[in-house]
Amino acid sequence: MDAIEALRGRRSVRAYESGNAIPRDILETIVDCGRLAATARNIQPWEFIVVTKPETLKRIADITEHGKHIAQSAACIAVVCEQGRYYVEDGAAATQNILVAAWALGIGACWVAGDKKAYADQLRDLLDAPDSHKLVSLIPLGYPERVPEPNKRPLDDVLHWEQY
Ligand SMILES: Cc1cc2nc3c(=O)[nH]c(=O)nc-3n(C[C@H](O)[C@H](O)[C@H](O)COP(=O)(O)O)c2cc1C
């Protein structure tokens, strides 16, 4: 799948095939695409924590507000970034890379909010990440059971040439 196809086709997947583990090398490829994202001043403030143990996935899911599907995922990547001026933007760029890379590899994923949520520091502590870091996002992954089709604003609505 080429990049344009992956970017156009990607959707947030919240229902995963049960019992279908994602091979370790595939998870490594996905994280590798995350760590190559654009980053302000090339600081690369991120660390990626890959959780595959079902009991930990359930604990994470229980703490989130809209991430209960994490409990059914095959793996969940937590993107944590050292605090600094652009840590949210940097972590968001890495998160989007991960979503698209997963989709290109036939794996469904969903961005679950981390930063700005009251539970973010609790999850950071659960995952043993240092206090100097912030949880930017959680990304549950799994082979898709169902792919939603959310409404998307048409290109004509959002594209402006030269002026708004
Ligand atoms: C910053 C951010 C936070 C999000 N948080 C959640 C979340 O907590 N739970 C969830 O199920 N989806 C979450 N999403 C996914 C959005 O709901 C999803 O991207 C949106 O509905 C558009 O659908 P699409 O990703 O299929 O294009 C989040 C997305 C972003 C960018």
Residue 135, classed as helix, strand or coil, is strand
pLDDT score recorded for residue 1: 79
- Number of domains, the chain: 1
- Ligand 1 in reach of 67 Cβ (< 6 A): yes
Asked whether residue 163 is domain-assigned, the answer is: no
Q: What is the DSSP letter of 40?
A: G
- Ligand 1 in reach of 85 Cβ (< 6 A): no
Domain limits for position 59: 3-145
Asked whether residue 156 is domain-assigned, the answer is: no
User: pLDDT, tens digit, for every residue of 59-92?
Assistant: 999 999 999 999 999 999 999 999 999 999 999 9
Query: In what helix (H) or strand (E) does residue 96 lie, and over which residues does it extend?
Result: helix 87-104
pLDDT score recorded for residue 94: 99
Pocket test for ligand 1, best of 111, 119, 146 (most atoms within 8 A of CB): 111
Residue 61, classed as helix, strand or coil, is helix
User: pLDDT, tens digit, for every residue of 21-58?
Assistant: 999 999 999 999 999 999 999 999 999 999 999 999 99
The CA distance from 127 to 101, in Å, is 24
The CA distance from 95 to 67, in Å, is 16
Shortest CA distance to 69 belongs to which of 109, 30, 20? 109
Asked whether residue 44 is domain-assigned, the answer is: yes
Asked whether residue 121 is domain-assigned, the answer is: yes
CATH classification of the domain holding 115: 3.40.109.10
